[in-house]
Amino acid sequence: MPLVIAVLALLMAFLVSIYAPTAPVIADSITSRAGSPVHSSQSQEEDGNRIAIVRPSFSATAYQDAFYTFYSKYRNVPSGEYVTTSLGLLNRTLVTEWKWSEQLRTWFNTEAASSLHLVLDETVTVVDETDVDSGELFENGTRRYDVLILGFTEYVTQREYLYYKLFVESGGIMIIMDACNFLAEVSYSNGYVSLVKGHGWEFNGTHAWKSVYHRWPEENTNWVGGNYWKYWYGRHYDYFSANTSNLVSTYLRTALGENITTSYGGHEENLLQNLTQSEVIGYWHFLDSSEYPGEPIAAYMHRYGKGTVIHSGIMASDAIMSDRFLGVLLAAGIRFGLNGNIEEWAYPEALVPSDDAIECQTTLYDRDGNVAAGALTSVAYCDVSFSAITDVLRGCHHSNLSSVAGKLTERPDGEGRLFQSRIMQGRAVSDNCWRIDIDTLDLPNGNYGLAINATWKGIRSPVMFNESIDVLPFSIANDEIPSVYPWIGTVTVGTSIAVAAVAYVWFTRNKARIVTTNVRPA
């Protein structure tokens, strides 16, 4: 008997599935074909923020009436002599500032950066050096970011240095905008930054003495591509020459010309010392050729492990607010890091400002997933595709919307019943597409209008905008019986099966009773 009931239940479920609407299943299959952004297989946050910039707090601390005051005070101490006074200058409270990289931070607040969807704390995560030191570039051994931007990082901890190296080795793109990177080692503990070794000194906590200038010269040459060369001021360069076959160089030459004038005169520079796995983007041209050090001062790409270091070769933070091409160089590096190439890209390709109307395309589909033609019957759905924000760095589109809804109203044509308007909430199916499901069996036949409304957040603006962006007209013409009794077929079949099951059980039980009654005692 239980077997019979189970078979009947399966039969009823099968019949219900035949008559039930299938639009949600079709909608999901269509959704699966929608385009999606290109993501790195190495990145932990596939759908999140994949760009980070490091705030150089350790270097800022060293310059805050600290290390350099000590260097100046004891510059004439002979090699081999210990210094045991004024050691507090080599052990200072952490200063969370940008210092020499302040102009780099400021660039991310410009319209050029905003047009490229590069906004601090929105699309670009700010990571402090203390975070890097504690291992926050990684999660469970996997990189959190695809692109890491460094400004003036002269002083780093040993752990921080190794994390940067591992970031590149595992496939990350590290863009170093300022020279004199990774020159000296410091330690960080309990809110204090202490010199360990480099910049001509060594410190163990109780005394200091003259020591090496470069802390990791061979290591830097190996995976970064070069080392710090010189500190100077004045006018030493007159232009930047983008004259190589490197893809970034080709892009700069196409966009800005081969010899690009610059306001950068000189400050601190790096040498390109490792030409193995290196490609020169462009050379900094000396006003006086006799100043050329013998190894190039150049912007370059150096491949190490699975990743790449992109280096400006100079203190780019000094000139990024006045030299447009340094912003282009940075953006091209980010584009390369996220997309793998920079071809077919115009800089800057502006996004739609937050106070402009959103452009969208609405398409109505029937229950079979075909574009609706004529009056609708049964279930249907409307796809609303947006191109409000073009994220050129990732090579994809984002609508930046928080919600989409459709306001359904009957269009007066002199016939039919009055219909009270209703709000139909949409659901996101991809980065640039929202879907509104419509059950026409729940509506009277007639002509309708679906007004599409969107609530969205503009870039760098906390204000939410609610705008009517499109009106989609359509009509409904269901057959009378299905429109009034949409489930009559399923209910009839189910009821018939249930009645048959009950009759079978009743007949079986009564037959058993008759047999029992007719049995005579032995």
Query: Residue 507 has what pLDDT?
Result: 66
pLDDT at position 485: 45
**148-152, 419-423, 479-483, 504-508: the lowest-pLDDT one:** 479-483
Q: For residues 25 and 357, which has the higher predicted lDDT (pLDDT)?
A: 357
- H-type helices in 238-388, by residue range? 247-256, 324-339
Tokens 């996101």 — which residue? Answer: 428
CB contact at 8 A, 253 and 243: yes
> What's the pLDDT tens digit per position in 227-237?
999 999 999 99
**17-45: average pLDDT:** 30
Which of the four pLDDT bands, split at 50, 70 and 90, describes residue 510? low
pLDDT in the model for residue 57? 98
Position 363 scores a pLDDT of 85
Query: In this predicted structure, which of 91-100, 105-114, 213-222 has the lowest mean pLDDT?
Result: 105-114
Least confident residue range of 26-40, 181-195, 261-275, 393-407: 26-40
Q: Report the alpha-carbon distance of residue 118 to residue 349 in Å, rounded.
A: 12
Which pLDDT belongs to residue 381? 85
Tokens of 138: 């990684």
Q: Percentage of the chain with pLDDT > 90?
A: 51
Q: Which CATH number fits domain 353-483: 2.60.40.1930, 3.10.20.30, 3.90.105.10, 2.60.200.20?
A: 2.60.40.1930
Strands (E), 212-297: 226-231, 237-241, 259-261, 268-272, 278-286
* DSSP state for residue 224 in the 8-state scheme: I
pLDDT (0 to 100) of residue 492: 61
* Of 123-132, 140-149, 381-390, minimum mean pLDDT range: 381-390
293-302, 404-413, 485-494, 504-513, range with the lowest pLDDT = 485-494
Looking at residue 115, what is its pLDDT? 75
| Cβ 430 vs Cβ 387: under 8 Å | no
Q: Is the pLDDT of residue 402 over 90?
A: no
Q: What is the mean pLDDT of the chain?
A: 80
CA 93 to chain centre: 34
| Chain region(s) in the chain for CATH 3.40.50 | 51-226+298-339
Structure confidence at residue 427 as a pLDDT band (50, 70, 90): confident
| Residue range 51-226+298-339, CATH number | 3.40.50
CATH 2.60.40.1930 maps onto the chain at 353-483
